[in-house]
Structure 1
Amino acid sequence: MADDAGEPSTSTEADVGRMLREHRLERKMTLAQLAERANVSTSYVSQVERGVANPTLASLKTLSSALGITVGSLLQDERTPTLDSGEPGEVSVLRAGNRRRVVYPGSNIANELLSPNLRMQMEVIWVEAPPGSGSGGHPHQHEGEECGVVIAGTMRFWVGDEEWLLEKQDAIYFPSHLPHRWVSGGPQDLVALWIITPPTF
């Protein structure tokens, strides 16, 4: 059985900007090239890299996609503790308080990766989101399937043109290629458990 001894990881605006710049430079891309691929202004990319702008979760996904990586890869830092080797067939125990935790600047949405890494066949995420925060105004689409269950609070969830209000213990399951988005309905913080296959975080 594997265990971990690291500290939880959180990302500030400056951290996100630094890591965005590092990934961009690794790919020998200019600010203008990344901005064009992400369909945003060059000044916005510059502000994010300098820690001046607070990117939303949707913006981070757009910038990550333009770099050809996932949000998880964008936020992966060499200083982030390795929680577990997490090889297939092994048992991994990720203790509360010692998991990889990402707090998205500008939204205060927090994700904790409950699966050991992104090399598995699915990812399991603990989601915390204050009222009014969400995945962004533009729906997301990717290959695979998702299942989520609300533990506390409420979640407004859209798949295509359909909308649902999910309350405590409600669950939703859908193919991820359908456009989808969500918002924390309030008045209390949303807490949810999310499962995605294959991993896309």
Structure 2
Amino acid sequence: MPPRKKPSPALEPPRVGDTLAALRQTRALSLDELSRMAGVSKSMLSQIERAQANPTVAVVWRLANALGVSMADLLGTAEAPSAPAIAVVASHATPSLHSPDGLCELRILGPIDLAGQFEWYELKVQAGGALESGAHEPGTVEHLSVMAGSMEVRSGEAQQRVKVGETVRYQADRSHAIRNPGKTTATAWLVVVHPA
């Protein structure tokens, strides 16, 4: 009689919450927005991000499609290639976000693995445009360096005009906004630093 095989230990399903939260934050999507894009309820998204639920394959597929990543990337099962000494991201491969009115464009320059720590963007705001944001987690600070035109930054009730060559640093753990009060397109570098 052949020896009996020991049952293999049960494998824990992959936890996608941290990856999902990082991808959503990098794309500046609220739970409501991602819920609409993916066709997954807001409460389910919240439970997944807090590791209180593991999604079905169908839900992972919907989320991956909505976020523009592979299922393996979302599940954390993609085999990581060895990093080259110098990595180049082509201009056409740099993801970007647009404000609902189409007057603001954020090009995402930072890598996904730093999302939730710090992020950096190229921001273009057309005349009269505004990028309005809700409060980020406590202790988050944004740094805006204006490269062309001028911008106006609001953090809570405080407001400051910023000219070419100037950098403004402000609390982003309250509602905040970046506006272009000028008549030409304004550009800036935006760095978001999350608390450690």
Task: Give the TM interval when normalised to the shorter protein.
Answer: 0.5 to 0.7
* 101, 108, 115: which one aligns with 1:113: 108
Match of 2:36 in 1: 21
Gaps in structure 2 of 5+ consecutive residues:
1-32, 50-63, 74-79
8 Å CA contact 1:86–1:92 kept in 2: the answer is no
8 Å CA contact 1:131–1:187 kept in 2: the answer is yes
For residue 92 of structure 1, report the CA deviation from its aligned partner.
Answer: 4.4
For residue 103 of structure 1, report the CA deviation from its aligned partner.
Answer: 2.8
- 1:11-59 Cα offsets, whole Å, 9 max, x none, are xxxxxxx965343x32277xxxxxxxxxxxxxxxxxxxxxxxxxxxxxx
| Distance change (3 Å), C-alpha of 1:193 and 1:184 | same
| Distance change (3 Å), C-alpha of 1:86 and 1:119 | farther
Secondary structure of 2:173's aligned partner: coil
* 52, 61, 67: which one aligns with 1:76: 67
| Distance change (3 Å), C-alpha of 1:123 and 1:92 | farther
The whole-number CA distance in structure 2 between the counterparts of 1:86 and 1:195 is 27
Q: Which has the higher contact order (CA 8 A, sep 6+)?
A: 1
Which one has the largest radius of gyration? 2
* 160, 163, 172: which one aligns with 2:168: 172
Match of 2:125 in 1: 129
Paired residues for 1:72-111 under 5 Å: 76-78=67-69, 92-111=87-106
8 Å CA contact 2:35–2:41 kept in 1: the answer is no
For residue 193 of structure 1, report the CA deviation from its aligned partner.
Answer: 0.5
Task: Give the letter aligned to residue 77 of structure 1.
Answer: G
Match of 1:14 in 2: none
Match of 2:190 in 1: 194
Task: Give the letter aligned to residue 21 of structure 1.
Answer: R
8 Å CA contact 1:20–1:74 kept in 2: the answer is no
For residue 159 of structure 1, report the CA deviation from its aligned partner.
Answer: 1.9
Aligned residues: 139
- 1:55-87 Cα offsets, whole Å, 9 max, x none, are xxxxxxxxx99xx8xxxx9962248xx9xx799
Gaps in structure 1 of 5+ consecutive residues:
1-17, 30-63
What TM-score do you get using the length of structure 1 for normalisation?
0.54
For residue 135 of structure 1, report the CA deviation from its aligned partner.
Answer: 2.1
8 Å CA contact 1:86–1:116 kept in 2: the answer is no
For residue 109 of structure 1, report the CA deviation from its aligned partner.
Answer: 1.3
The whole-number CA distance in structure 2 between the counterparts of 1:187 and 1:169 is 18
What TM-score do you get using the length of structure 2 for normalisation?
0.55
